Amino acid sequence: MAEKQSGPRVIVVGAGVVGCSIAFHLAQMGANVSVFDKGEVCGGMSARSGALVRMHYTFAPEADLAWKSLKYFEQWDRLVGGSCGFVRTGFVVLVGEQNAERLRRNVAILKSLGIETDLAEPGQLRTREQEVRVDDIVLAACEPRSGYADPVATTESFAEAARAREAEFTCNMPIAALATQDGRCTGVTDASGKTHHSDFVCVAAGPWTDSLLAPVGVQIGIKTERAQIAYFKRPAGLRHSVIIDTVGGCYLRPHGDDLTLVGLGALSPDEQPNPDMFQEANDAQFVEEALRRLSARIPRMKQAEYVRGHAGIYDMTPDSRPVLGVVPGVPGLYVAAGFSGTGFKTSPAVGAAMTELILTAKSITADLSPFAFERIQQEHLIRPADEYTMGTDFGHTL
């Protein structure tokens, strides 16, 4: 048994993949860590993730977080312990004419970060992805080291590694309020009325984050969005990479040896679902549309059998990028939320960088300043110059 940590006391609110990554890195750095969640570890939206592991983003700092996270997925047993279920399949993003030059510029930026990626013309792509229809695309970008992981195994192994370093987890205990004194965050008060004191608090509560922040006078402006994924039976011998299809408006990835996962984002993005009570099963309309878009890209799956699926809630910020860092005007309070459906793949580096910021006031693993809370308050939102135009509603940007 490891010795009890004697470092700074840090409370993490939220035991999803981001919260557990932060807890693990904090404990690894010697902090005295307590994690609270209204449910179980990975009992919320992390378990519903499509769990893609890819580096392709149109915002360089976000791509850098994903790139810094890749080494964790590739070396999980050594860096964290246990298994994250990472499967390397390769990744491709497909674009049409309106996005071709943007893709070229984005790939150049990704390469400058050290990311292994290259461009492929339709004919070149067909030699790599023999089952993929390419006649309606102009260009693609490929990442050979990308793939997918198991979101539950990833989150639980982060939590287990944190526990092994004496982090304490209190599950099924909602946090009623943040505790403050003289304007500083000094801990949390749980639903039973007990106050837990700490030096720092980090809120990583996804769509529940703003309700905790509001009483201290700040909010991110998170909106909720219901997004669905479905699994279809894949014909024997059919193989494909993880694919983001900006032309057809979907993403897909293999799942094991015989299934393909398909996601579309939100079919009705104007709705504001309650994360505590929403329809978890797939809509019949979604299943039909998912199969249509899947078979349009991989024709051999036209008659694919629907196996199962589910919905989850995205925590959408005004610019669809996370808020990471200090909460302005409230010393001792930090936030890591608003990942807008893309947080899984960056969670290892986010945990490391947030830990550095909390304990040393400077993030070294990756620069978190582009994701600072102030951009929301000042309305200096992240709008990459070469963000892609999606052919249909994709649910969120890249």
Q: How confident is the model at residue 272 (pLDDT cuts 50, 70, 90)?
A: confident
The per-residue pLDDT for 396 is 61
The per-residue pLDDT for 5 is 63
User: 210 near 356, Cβ under 8 Å?
Assistant: no
End-to-end CA distance of the chain: 43
The CATH code that applies to domain 9-50+152-220+319-377 is: 3.50.50.60
The per-residue pLDDT for 389 is 86
Parts of the chain belonging to CATH 3.30.9.10: 70-147+223-316
In angstroms, what CA-CA distances link 59 with 63, 65, 264? 6, 10, 21
User: 377 near 317, Cβ under 8 Å?
Assistant: no
What span, in angstroms and rounded, lies between the C-alpha atoms of 221 and 218? 9
User: How does pLDDT run across 75-128, given as a tens digit for each residue?
Assistant: 999 999 999 999 999 999 999 999 999 999 999 999 999 999 999 999 999 999
Average pLDDT over residues 280-297: 96
The per-residue pLDDT for 1 is 37
In angstroms, what CA-CA distances link 208 with 103, 182, 309, 343? 35, 25, 24, 15
The CATH code that applies to domain 70-147+223-316 is: 3.30.9.10
> How many CA atoms lie within 13 Å of 251's alpha carbon, on the beta-carbon side?
29
Tell me which of 20 and 5 has the higher pLDDT.
Answer: 20
Judged against a pLDDT cut of 50, whether residue 31 lies above it is answered with yes
Average pLDDT over residues 139-145: 98
User: How does pLDDT run across 308-362, given as a tens digit for each residue?
Assistant: 999 999 999 999 999 999 999 999 999 999 999 889 999 999 999 999 999 999 9
Instruction: Read off the amino acid at residue 18.
Output: V
What pTM does this model have? Answer: 0.96
Parts of the chain belonging to CATH 3.50.50.60: 9-50+152-220+319-377
